[in-house]
């Protein structure tokens, strides 16, 4: 981003060549999720990617969309809009608590809802933002593919730290912004659409860039591009995508498997420390359920006040989500930092 700003300041666009980097970013994204670069569109954020599916698909009255009742709003409001406008039924599966107080959405209930003959699409987050539960996306995707149910995945809470393979997981659509685990800036995200579904998702926003020969400005040819870039309607966020490309290169040079292992070690350490300190960890942590986020609660402390004190006085950033504190260490965090957080948290 500094290079972009410096070049823009000194030479405007003369000799810049920034647009070639966008093709490289599509290739990097495709490699990250085991897709083809022609299946990648560059979007503003997760919301735009999900809304592209919601607005672009032709719905029939009586269609059903299955999701959960604890999704981040980016993966709820587009479907609520469809339900209101198109007479579609929105099914939202609620969160449950196991005997140990861990919160989760039951996989069997998702699959039961997906099996309904009118279910058209299942829309789920790979990792839930408030509980840190990682859903068994591969099993859900396989279930949906066998029944010809479309599967849309919000991957903002997993992409960059957990393996994501759209082919092995049978994902039809995937969206993620770059500003979380991908370590990029806000306003620069990615959207995947399976190539053979391009013709059923009409671009919901039309501009100069959706079409073939887009830079032949004086010749009007309203023919969409043959790849996922047909969902890019206008001038892109060049500095944001340059930064996202750089951060993806960094992550992939370390290796996603290495990052996954590192984060599992850090979050296990955090979980054990929180429990010893008297906090209740509500995130599932068994088998495929665990993720890079640990959510916890306290029976005695004001969590909002605690989060403010940690940020202001100690420069420790925890997120307050749905009455829970969420800690999300990345691979560059250290064991000493995890131990320091545990030490400064008030006991019970």
Q: What is the pLDDT of residue 15?
A: 79
End-to-end CA distance of the chain: 45
Q: What is the pLDDT of residue 348?
A: 82
Q: What is the pLDDT of residue 162?
A: 97
Domain with CATH 3.40.640.10 in the chain: 2-254
Helix axes 46-56, 77-86, angle to 10 degrees: 20
CATH number attached to the domain at 2-254 = 3.40.640.10
Q: What is the pLDDT of residue 285?
A: 95
- Check if the beta carbon of residue 263 is closer than 8 Å to that of residue 294: no
| CA angle (149 as vertex; 143, 153 as ends), nearest 5 | 80
Q: What is the pLDDT of residue 12?
A: 85
Q: What is the pLDDT of residue 17?
A: 83
Q: How far apart are CA 59 and CA 63, in angstroms?
A: 7
Q: What is the DSSP letter of 206?
A: -
Q: Which residues make beta-bridge pairs with 193?
A: 173
Domain with CATH 3.90.1150.10 in the chain: 256-344
Tell which CATH architecture fits domain 256-344: Alpha-Beta Complex (3.90)
Q: What is the pLDDT of residue 287?
A: 84
Parts of the chain with a pLDDT under 50: none
Structure tokens at 52: 């592209």
Q: What is the pLDDT of residue 272?
A: 97
Q: What is the pLDDT of residue 34?
A: 98
**Strand, coil or helix: what is 92?**
strand
Strand order in the sheet with 150-154: 40-43, 189-193, 173-177, 150-154, 119-125, 64-68, 89-93
Tokens 């500003």, residue located: 179
Q: What is the pLDDT of residue 62?
A: 94
Q: What is the pLDDT of residue 13?
A: 79
DSSP per-residue letters across 9-62: HHHTTTT--TTHHHHHHHHHHHHHHT--GGGEEEESSHHHHHHHHHHHBPP-TT
Structure tokens at 74: 């980016």
């Amino acid at each position: 981003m500094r290079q972009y700003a410096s070049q823009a300041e000194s030479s405007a666009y003369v000799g810049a060549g920034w647009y070639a980097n966008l093709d490289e970013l599509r290739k990097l994204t495709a490699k990250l999720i085991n897709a083809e670069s022609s299946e990648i569109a560059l979007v503003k954020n997760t919301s735009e990617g999900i809304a592209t599916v919601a607005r672009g698909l032709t719905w029939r009255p009586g269609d059903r969309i299955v999701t959960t009742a604890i999704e981040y709003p980016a993966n709820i409001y587009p479907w609520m809009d469809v339900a209101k406008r198109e007479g579609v039924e929105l099914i939202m599966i609620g969160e449950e608590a196991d005997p140990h107080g861990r919160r989760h959405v039951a996989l069997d209930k998702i699959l039961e809802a997906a099996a309904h003959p009118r279910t058209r699409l299942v829309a789920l987050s790979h990792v839930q933002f408030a509980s840190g539960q990682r859903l068994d996306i591969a099993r859900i995707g396989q279930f949906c593919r066998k029944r010809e149910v479309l599967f849309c995945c919000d991957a903002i809470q997993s992409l960059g730290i957990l393996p994501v393979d759209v082919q092995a997981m049978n994902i039809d659509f995937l969206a993620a912004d770059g500003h979380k685990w991908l370590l990029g800036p806000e306003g620069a995200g990615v959207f995947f659409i399976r190539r053979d579904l391009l013709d059923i998702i009409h671009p919901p926003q039309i501009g100069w860039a959706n079409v073939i020969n887009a830079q032949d400005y004086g010749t009007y040819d309203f023919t969409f591009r043959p790849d996922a870039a047909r969902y890019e309607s206008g001038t892109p966020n060049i500095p944001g995508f340059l930064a996202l490309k750089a951060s993806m290169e960094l992550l992939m040079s370390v290796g996603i498997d290495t990052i996954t292992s590192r984060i599992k070690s850090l979050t296990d350490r955090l979980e054990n420390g929180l429990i010893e300190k008297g906090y209740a960890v509500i995130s599932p942590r068994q088998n495929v359920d665990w993720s890079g986020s640990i959510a916890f609660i306290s029976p005695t402390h004001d969590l909002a006040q605690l989060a403010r004190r940690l940020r202001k006085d100690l420069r420790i950033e925890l997120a307050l989500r749905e009455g829970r504190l969420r800690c999300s260490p990345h691979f560059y965090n250290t064991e000493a930092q995890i131990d320091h957080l545990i030490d400064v948290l008030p006991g019970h």
